[in-house]
């Protein structure tokens, strides 16, 4: 920036102190804070915004239309299903994400779900605390990851790390991602799968790492779940809505698969009376896979840096979703 005029950045919710320090160190930047999930407050503030650091903000066409000075929207993460990308592109406004900042943490979370479900951690812990020691030890049917077959849907930043982690447990890795060169999957030591449905009946673990879109909504429904083995475990650390929750509930309730680890839901925040919360064979988290302290710092700093880089005319194209604006 060379015109000497301050630019305003809106932040919805809290970000890591390191991210705030990066922004506050710039004398040409003014910060505005709005509460998380407060669309009304965001709409009122956006008229003054040059940049938005968006944690859970809904970036609607109406919001974009009212933001006359908006130059960049920077997602605190990699998902952008709450952002109307077309509205931004129509104004030549880049939408940025945080690259690989959250990938290790989300991959670890997926592995945690695999291990915890395979070892029946939740009921084992509860029965042990209740004093049912022998039953907790002997009757829960734990399984190993060793030499099991895992299918990864989505072989992007996170999926690739999940593959390496699974290989560290001596698992056989299959991957389905029609949007990348299949040689990338082979070079990673995994087996490419053209249609994931063709192998659902043979895999022991299914883990999902794709964005939510019209194409992927309800990608895993009753028909797909019915094809899975009774010993199979499903993990979703991607986005709610990709797995049909009603179908998953019925499948788990009938014990037609072994278990599931679910970090994301179609409605968030998720009501406490969600049917899945009543089951022993599912582990649930509040969209927290990227909430490790180290991950939150990396994401916050990268999200802040993306805004500054756009203001300074040196935005990294690899961080931009809508490449057509470059």
Active site residues: 239, 268, 287
As a whole number of angstroms, the distance between CA 115 and CA 224 comes to 23
Q: How far is CA 324 from the centre of its chain?
A: 24
| Residues in contact with 132: Cβ distance below 8 Å, sequence separation at least 6, in sequence order | none
As a whole number of angstroms, the distance between CA 152 and CA 53 comes to 30
The closest alpha carbon to 42, from 19, 69, 26, 64, belongs to 64
| Residues in contact with 303: Cβ distance below 8 Å, sequence separation at least 6, in sequence order | 15, 19, 53, 74, 75, 76, 77, 96, 98
DSSP letter for each residue of 240-251: TTSB-HHHHHHH
Please give the structure tokens belonging to residue 233: 């475990």
Strands (DSSP E) along the chain, which ranges? 7-12, 29-34, 51-54, 72-75, 95-96, 149-153, 172-176, 191-192, 205-208, 233-236, 259-262, 282-284
According to DSSP, the residues that pair with 208 across neighbouring strands are 153, 236
As a whole number of angstroms, the distance between CA 261 and CA 265 comes to 11
Specify whether the backbone of 117 is left (phi greater than 0), alpha (psi in -120 to 50) or beta.
Answer: alpha
Residue located via tokens 């919710």: 13
Please give the structure tokens belonging to residue 259: 């278990």
Please give the structure tokens belonging to residue 197: 């449905």
* C-beta neighbour count of 78 within 10 angstroms: 21
């Amino acid at each position: 920036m060379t015109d000497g005029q301050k630019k305003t950045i809106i932040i919805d919710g809290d970000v890591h102190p390191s991210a705030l320090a990066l922004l506050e160190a710039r004398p040409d930047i003014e910060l505005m804070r709005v509460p998380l999930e407060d669309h009304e407050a965001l709409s009122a503030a956006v008229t003054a915004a040059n940049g938005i650091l968006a944690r859970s903000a809904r970036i609607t066409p109406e919001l974009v239309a009212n933001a006359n000075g908006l130059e960049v929207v920077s997602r605190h993460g990699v998902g952008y299903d709450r952002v109307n990308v077309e509205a931004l592109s129509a104004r030549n406004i880049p939408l940025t994400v945080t690259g690989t900042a959250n990938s290790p943490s989300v991959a670890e979370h997926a592995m945690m779900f695999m291990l915890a479900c395979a070892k029946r951690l939740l009921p084992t812990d509860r029965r042990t605390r209740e004093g049912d020691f022998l039953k907790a030890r002997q009757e829960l049917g734990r399984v190993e990851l060793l030499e099991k077959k895992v299918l990864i849907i989505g072989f992007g930043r996170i999926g690739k790390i999940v593959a390496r982690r699974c290989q560290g447990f001596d698992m056989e890795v299959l991957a389905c991602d029609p949007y990348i060169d299949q040689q990338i999957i082979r070079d990673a030591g995994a087996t490419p799968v053209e249609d994931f449905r063709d192998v659902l009946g043979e895999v022991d673990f299914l883990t999902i790492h794709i964005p939510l879109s019209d194409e992927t909504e309800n990608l895993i429904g009753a028909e797909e779940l019915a094809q899975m083995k009774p010993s199979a475990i499903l993990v979703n650390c991607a986005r709610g809505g990709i797995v049909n929750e009603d179908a998953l509930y019925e499948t788990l309730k009938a014990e037609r698969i072994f278990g599931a680890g679910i970090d994301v839901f179609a409605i968030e925040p998720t009501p406490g009376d969600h049917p899945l919360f009543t089951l022993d064979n599912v582990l649930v988290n509040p969209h927290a896979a990227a909430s490790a302290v180290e991950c939150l710092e990396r994401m916050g700093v990268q999200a802040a840096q993306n805004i500054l880089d756009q203001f300074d005319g040196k935005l990294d194209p690899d961080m931009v979703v809508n490449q057509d604006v470059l």
